[in-house]
Amino acid sequence: MNMEEIIELIKTGKNDLLEKKLNDNRSLADIKTEQGISLLQFAAYCRNNFAVDILKKHKQKLDIFEAVSIGDTETVSQLLDKNPELLNSFSSDGFTALGLASFFGHLSLVKLLLDKGANPNIASNNQFKVAPIHSACAISHFDIAELLIKHGADVNARQMQDVTPLHSAAHNGQTKISKLLIDNGADINSKMGNGQTPLFMANEKNFKETAELIIKHGGH
């Protein structure tokens, strides 16, 4: 069975067949995708928790990006103790451990990484240019966004297409996160590459409460 077939099993949730294939050939768990990420991390991206459990069972050890993706705080801590340089390093697809922890919503891991000195303003070194604060706002995780800001995250950081955290929060109708960003200095009228403002994003999805908050603070 080749890589594409294994990936398809993970994507489509055919976990019984995946488990059978791995039981027959344990080495399949160590296959990498074309982007260089492991199948375990890919399963985490697919939010296929059953596949994550199957793959973890068939792997002898995890790298830091796999451990972060599945929220394995103990393994992450051990790996960083052995090699502190991993803290701000990039995964094969361009994300830091903090970026992945923020994306997957692992609050305890975000806290651990920040306490160990992770830089909250390192964006992904791929085309997306996503900083941890973008991910926290995109997945509507207030506690992570708040923690990142307390550790110096730039609330006006721009990712691909000049999207700011406030654009993402407004697009998702996240009034509480929008207020957090505004209270910490977010540019209320920042424009994306296409000229769209946070207010436009809120109105586009008819998020009235979020739009009213933005207008109250001078948004147009």
Strand partners, 41: none
Q: Tell me the backbone φ, ψ of residue 32, rounded to 5 degrees.
A: -110, 150
Give the pLDDT of residue 1: 66
What is the sign, positive or negative, of the torsion defined by CA atoms of 108, 111, 117, 118?
positive
Give the pLDDT of residue 40: 97
Listing DSSP states for 98-145 in one string gives: HHHHHHHT-HHHHHHHHHTT--TT---SSTT---HHHHHHHTT-HHHH
Quickly count: other Cβ atoms within 10 Å of residue 74's Cβ: 9
Give the pLDDT of residue 60: 87
Give the pLDDT of residue 36: 92
Average pLDDT across each block of 10 residues of the chain; the chain has 220 residues. List them in order.
Answer: 89 96 92 93 97 95 97 98 98 98 98 98 97 96 99 98 98 98 98 98 97 98
pTM equals: 0.95
